[in-house]
Chains A and B, each alone.
Chain A
Amino acid sequence: MARIEVVMPQMGESIAEGTIVKWHKKVGDRVKKDETLLEISTDKVDSEIPSPAAGVLAEIVVPEQKTVAVRTVIAYLEAEGGAVAAEASRPTVPSAMETPKPIAMAPAPISAAPAITPLAAPASGRFYSPLVLNIAREEGIAMNELELIPGTGEGGRASKKDILAYVAAKKSGAIAAPSSPSVSKATSAGILAKPVDVPELRGKYPAPDFEILQMSNVLQKMAEHMVKSVATSPHVAAIHEVDMTNVVKHRGAHAIEFEKKEGFKLTFTPYIVEAVSRAIKKYPLVNTSIEGDKIIKKNFINIGIAVASENGLIVPVIKNAEEKNFLGLARAVNDLATRTRAKKLTPDDIQGGTFTISNYGVFGTMIGTPIINQPQVAIIGTGAIKKRVVVIDDAIAIRSMAYFTMSFDHRIVDGALGGMFLEEVVQYLQNFDINLKF
Chain B
Amino acid sequence: MAEKSFDVVVLGGGPGGYTAAIRAAQLGMKTGIIERDRLGGVCLNWGCIPTKALLKNAEVLQTFRRGEEWGISYDNLKVDFGKIIKRSRVVSEKIVKGVEYLMRKNKIEHIPGYGVLLGNGAIEIRAEGKPDEKVTAKHIVVATGARPRTIPGVPIDRKRVISSTEAMSLTDQPKSMIVIGAGAIGIEFAYFYNAVGTKVTVVEMMPSILPVEDAELTKMMEASLKKQGIEILTQAKVESVNPGSNDVTVTVTAADGKKELKGDVALMAIGVQGNVENFGLEKLGVTVERGHVRVDSDYRTNIPGVYAIGDVIGPPWLAHVASAEGVHCIEAIAGKKPAAIDYSSIPGCTYCQPQIASVGLTEEKAKAEGYELKIGRFPFRPLGKAVAIGEAEGMVKLIFDAKYGELLGAHIMGAEATEMIHELVMAKKLETTGKEIFHTIHAHPTLSEAVMEAAAAAYGEAINI
Which residues of A pack against B, CB within 8 Å? 108-111, 129-132, 134-135, 138, 152-155, 159-160, 198-201, 203-204
A130 adjacent to B435 (CB under 8 Å)? yes
B29 adjacent to A199 (CB under 8 Å)? yes
CB-defined interface of B394-422 with A at 8 Å, one 1/0 digit per residue? Answer: 00000000011110000000000000000
Chain B residues contacting A152 (CB-CB under 8 Å) are 339-340
* Chain B CB within 10 A, most for which of A108, A111, A198: A111
Chain A residues contacting B7 (CB-CB under 8 Å) are 199-200
Decide yes or no: A134 and B404 within 8 Å by CB, A200-B334, A203-B29 being known contacts.
yes
Pull 21 A–B residue pairs with CB atoms less than 8 Å apart, ordered by A.
A108-B460, A108-B461, A109-B460, A110-B374, A110-B458, A110-B459, A129-B430, A130-B405, A132-B431, A134-B404, A138-B404, A152-B339, A160-B431, A198-B334, A200-B7, A200-B29, A200-B333, A200-B334, A200-B335, A203-B28, A204-B28
Q: What is the bound-complex CA distance between A110 and B402, given in angstroms?
A: 9
Measured CB to CB, the closest approach of chain B to A383, in angstroms, equals 38
Chain A residues contacting B29 (CB-CB under 8 Å) are 199-200, 203
Is B387's beta carbon under 8 Å from chain A? no
Q: What is the bound-complex CA distance between A110 and B29, given in angstroms?
A: 54
Q: What is the bound-complex CA distance between A135 and B334, given in angstroms?
A: 34
Chain A residues contacting B30 (CB-CB under 8 Å) are 203
Q: What is the bound-complex CA distance between A135 and B432, given in angstroms?
A: 12
The 10 closest A-B pairs by CB, nearest first: A129-B431, A203-B28, A131-B431, A200-B334, A111-B459, A130-B433, A134-B404, A131-B406, A130-B432, A135-B404
Q: What is the bound-complex CA distance between A69 and B416, given in angstroms?
A: 69
Is B436's beta carbon under 8 Å from chain A? yes
Total cross-chain contacts (CB, 8 A): 59
Chain B residues contacting A198 (CB-CB under 8 Å) are 334-335
Measured CB to CB, the closest approach of chain B to A219, in angstroms, equals 15
15 more contacts with CB within 8 A, not counting A134-B433, A203-B28, are: A108-B460, A110-B458, A111-B459, A129-B432, A130-B431, A130-B432, A131-B405, A131-B406, A134-B404, A134-B406, A138-B403, A138-B404, A155-B339, A200-B333, A201-B335
Q: What is the bound-complex CA distance between A134 and B403, given in angstroms?
A: 9
Is B159's beta carbon under 8 Å from chain A? no
Is B27's beta carbon under 8 Å from chain A? yes
Measured CB to CB, the closest approach of chain A to B398, in angstroms, equals 14
Chain B residues contacting A153 (CB-CB under 8 Å) are 339
* Chain A CB within 10 A, most for which of B333, B335, B374: B335
B432 adjacent to A131 (CB under 8 Å)? yes
Q: What is the bound-complex CA distance between A110 and B401, given in angstroms?
A: 13
Is B381's beta carbon under 8 Å from chain A? no
Decide yes or no: A160 and B406 within 8 Å by CB, A110-B374, A134-B433, A200-B334 being known contacts.
yes
Is B138's beta carbon under 8 Å from chain A? yes
Q: What is the bound-complex CA distance between A108 and B29, given in angstroms?
A: 59
Question: Which residue from A108, A130, A138 sits with its C-beta under 8 Å from B436?
Answer: A130
B405 adjacent to A110 (CB under 8 Å)? no
| CB closest residue in chain A, given B403 | A138
Chain B residues contacting A201 (CB-CB under 8 Å) are 334-335
Chain A residues contacting B433 (CB-CB under 8 Å) are 130-131, 134
Measured CB to CB, the closest approach of chain B to A128, in angstroms, equals 9
Chain B residues contacting A110 (CB-CB under 8 Å) are 374, 458-460
Chain A residues contacting B431 (CB-CB under 8 Å) are 129-132, 159-160
A200 adjacent to B460 (CB under 8 Å)? no
Chain B residues contacting A199 (CB-CB under 8 Å) are 7, 29, 138
| CB closest residue in chain A, given B340 | A152
CB-defined interface of B419-430 with A at 8 Å, one 1/0 digit per residue? Answer: 000000000001
Measured CB to CB, the closest approach of chain B to A105, in angstroms, equals 13
B461 adjacent to A111 (CB under 8 Å)? yes
Chain B residues contacting A129 (CB-CB under 8 Å) are 430-432
Chain A residues contacting B27 (CB-CB under 8 Å) are 200
Measured CB to CB, the closest approach of chain B to A401, in angstroms, equals 47
Q: What is the bound-complex CA distance between A138 and B406, given in angstroms?
A: 13
Q: What is the bound-complex CA distance between A152 and B337, given in angstroms?
A: 10
Residues B345-402 near A (CB distance < 8 A): 374
Chain B residues contacting A109 (CB-CB under 8 Å) are 460
| CB closest residue in chain B, given A128 | B431
Chain B residues contacting A134 (CB-CB under 8 Å) are 404-406, 433
Q: What is the bound-complex CA distance between A132 and B406, given in angstroms?
A: 9
Residues B431-465 near A (CB distance < 8 A): 431-433, 435-436, 458-461
Residues B212-237 near A (CB distance < 8 A): none
Chain B residues contacting A111 (CB-CB under 8 Å) are 459-461
Q: What is the bound-complex CA distance between A201 and B138, given in angstroms?
A: 14
Measured CB to CB, the closest approach of chain B to A6, in angstroms, equals 34
Q: What is the bound-complex CA distance between A200 and B7, given in angstroms?
A: 8
Measured CB to CB, the closest approach of chain B to A206, in angstroms, equals 11
Chain B residues contacting A200 (CB-CB under 8 Å) are 7, 27-29, 333-335
Question: Which residue from A138, A154, A203 sits with its C-beta under 8 Å from B339?
Answer: A154
Q: What is the bound-complex CA distance between A195 and B340, given in angstroms?
A: 27
Chain A residues contacting B435 (CB-CB under 8 Å) are 130
Chain B residues contacting A154 (CB-CB under 8 Å) are 339
Measured CB to CB, the closest approach of chain B to A169, in angstroms, equals 18
| CB closest residue in chain B, given A151 | B339
Chain A residues contacting B374 (CB-CB under 8 Å) are 110
Chain B residues contacting A138 (CB-CB under 8 Å) are 403-404
| CB closest residue in chain A, given B334 | A200
Chain A residues contacting B430 (CB-CB under 8 Å) are 129
Chain A residues contacting B333 (CB-CB under 8 Å) are 200
| CB closest residue in chain A, given B429 | A154
Q: What is the bound-complex CA distance between A153 and B341, given in angstroms?
A: 10
Q: What is the bound-complex CA distance between A68 and B27, given in angstroms?
A: 71
Measured CB to CB, the closest approach of chain B to A157, in angstroms, equals 8
| CB closest residue in chain A, given B374 | A110
Chain A residues contacting B460 (CB-CB under 8 Å) are 108-111
| CB closest residue in chain A, given B433 | A130
Q: What is the bound-complex CA distance between A120 and B460, given in angstroms?
A: 29
Measured CB to CB, the closest approach of chain B to A246, in angstroms, equals 53
Measured CB to CB, the closest approach of chain B to A167, in angstroms, equals 11
| CB closest residue in chain A, given B401 | A131
Measured CB to CB, the closest approach of chain B to A361, in angstroms, equals 38
Measured CB to CB, the closest approach of chain B to A12, in angstroms, equals 38
Chain B residues contacting A155 (CB-CB under 8 Å) are 339
Measured CB to CB, the closest approach of chain B to A146, in angstroms, equals 14
Measured CB to CB, the closest approach of chain A to B75, in angstroms, equals 56
Measured CB to CB, the closest approach of chain B to A371, in angstroms, equals 24
Measured CB to CB, the closest approach of chain B to A256, in angstroms, equals 55
Chain A residues contacting B458 (CB-CB under 8 Å) are 110
Measured CB to CB, the closest approach of chain A to B122, in angstroms, equals 17
Q: What is the bound-complex CA distance between A134 and B400, given in angstroms?
A: 13
